[in-house]
Amino acid sequence: MKKVIWYVLHNIPEIDTYMNEFEREFPDSDMSKEFADWFAMKIRKLYVAKYPTCTPDLFALACGPSPTPISVNSCVVNGVKLVVHSRDIKRTTQNNGICSPGEKKGEMYYGQLEEILEFAYTQFKVVLFRVKWFDLAKRE
């Protein structure tokens, strides 16, 4: 669960300010292992003190998700319905393919959606995908 919490926090731009503060205070620490606990304590203190910058969403992130995710067969992201491969396998139209831009210009990663996990926070839900990635460079 700690990896999920770190992944979610690491991919939310609103958290960058707190990550920078953590790096300044603890330059030799392992952020991926220690930041989530520090962030939770920091936000809880701000929430109790009723700081206006401490939004309900930040507080929800600090509290973390429910301990058990829900596995779902499909979800809608940006108006596109995505379905896991096992459910899509016998259908004539399929929508389990994933593509994601890489770090280099023009680089793309392609994969097949294997699992959709839904993590419930107090204010919102976060959906994470388990994807089987394909290495297109290994074509013969």
Which among 59, 12, 52, 9 is positioned nearest to 31, based on CA atoms?
A: 9
The predicted pLDDT at position 139 comes to: 58
pLDDT of residue 135: 77
This model's pTM is above 0.75: yes
Residue 140's pLDDT is 53
For residue 93, the model assigns a pLDDT of: 74
String of DSSP letters for 59-125: HHHHH---SSPEEESEEEETTEEEE-HHHHTT-SS---EEEEE-SSTT-EEEEEEEEEEEEE-SS-E
Burial label, 24 (beta-carbon count in 10 A; 0-12, 13-18, 19+): exposed
Query: Which amino acid, residue 40?
Result: A
pLDDT of residue 130: 93
pLDDT tens, per residue, the chain with 140 residues: 889 999 999 999 999 999 999 999 999 999 999 999 999 999 999 999 999 989 999 999 999 999 999 999 999 988 988 888 888 777 777 777 888 888 888 888 899 999 999 999 999 999 999 999 987 776 55
